[in-house]
Structure 1
Amino acid sequence: MAISFRGTSELSLDAKGRLAMPVRYRETLADFCGGDMVVAIGYAREKYLLVYPRPHWEIYQETLDAWPTYDPDVQMVKRMILGSASDIKMDGNGRILLSPVLRRHAGLEKEVVLIGQNQKFELWNQSTWDETREAMTWSLELAQKLESFG
């Protein structure tokens, strides 16, 4: 079964660090992976979290395993991603619990943004996402680069 997540949702974390997944994703996640997911830190310089349904995480982890082990930069990235990975399960109310360590890394407070990225989600602090989005420049160079992808 192929699934895809897209769109942006502005959400709130509760006092316990729980996030209610948007209703439009809950049934798909329950059917596809039984609500079993993996959360890890993002690998870009920005601070955000990656949220994968477990089957997609396993594919991603195989990709990471194939990266060269002798390169110190690759080792560090793998260490950060795999070392931060946390298994989570969506509860009966469609909520996921984010650990304090992961919340701190991404600077997640009450207001957050969940961004569908095809087979995964990104989870951002609302103000960090707003700043990142505002700073993005749509140049001719970027347009040409994207066009070259097909």
Structure 2
Amino acid sequence: MDLFLSSFTNKLDAKGRVSIPAPFRGVLTRDGFEGLYVTPSFEAQAVDCGGHALLREIDALLAPLSTGSHDWEAFAATLYGQSEILKIDGEGRIVVSDSIKAHAAIRAEITFVGMGRKFQLWEPERFQAYLAEAKGRVREARKQLGSLGTAASRPAVEVRE
């Protein structure tokens, strides 16, 4: 399975275009989606991006909800109604719309952050602040879990001959 991995920071040009990192373009090409699906993240001041895999995840979120219910309407309006499909030009660039820039507070640079089946667009300083907070949460979660899964936490096995 192709995954979006790593992070990259690229500059916007004077026309508001930015190059999608080559490894991310490769994943999108293999996914077969024409263009780039983008939707504001409702978890962070970032933009979720991807192709068919991201759309399948969104469909899965909506699937258990009754079509036309208040919850379904809220999810659909948030995840589909604010989304865009951006065209990727021959040089692997997208034009970042004003609404995307406003949602993520993007100015001159964009950090592309791989998140498995999707990637996110961030304003670089905001991403660094988020990453510091996220690392703290991961450290805290690991403390709560103890050292499960490490060799030191497994019971010793006595081998008798």
Query: TM-score under structure 2 normalisation?
Result: 0.75
**How many angstroms apart in 2 are the aligned matches of 1:118 and 1:28?**
10
Instruction: Between 110-119 and 13-22, report the one with greater CA deviation.
Output: 13-22
Summarize deviations over 1:26-54 as a string: whole Å, max 9, x none.
3442343265220100121x20000112x
| Mapping of residues 1-150 of structure 1, within 5 Å | 2-33=1-32, 35-44=34-43, 46-53=44-51, 55-69=52-66, 70=69, 72=71, 75-136=73-134, 137-138=136-137, 141-143=140-142
Aligned-partner Cα distance in 1 for 2:64–2:145: 25
Specify which structure has the higher proportion of strand: 1
Does the CA-based 8 Å contact 2:9-2:109 persist in structure 1? Answer: yes
CA distance, structure 1, for counterparts of residue 145 and residue 8 of structure 2: 25
Q: 1:90: how far off?
A: 1.3
Q: Which runs of 5+ in 2 are unaligned?
A: 150-161
Q: Which amino acid in 2 is paired with 1:16?
A: K
Q: In 2, distance between residues paired with 1:22 and 1:134?
A: 23
RMSD across aligned positions (CA): 2.8
- Cα distance in 1 for partners of 2:23, 2:82 equals 27
| TM-aligned CA deviation for residue 84 of structure 1 | 1.1
Deviation at 1:122, TM superposition (A): 0.8
Query: Distance between the aligned counterparts of 2:85 and 2:49, measured in 1?
Result: 10
Structure 1 residues not aligned, in runs of 5+: none
Residues 1:135 and 1:58: Cα distance change in structure 2 (over 3 Å)? closer
State the identity %.
22
Residue 139 of structure 1: how far off its partner (Å): 6.5
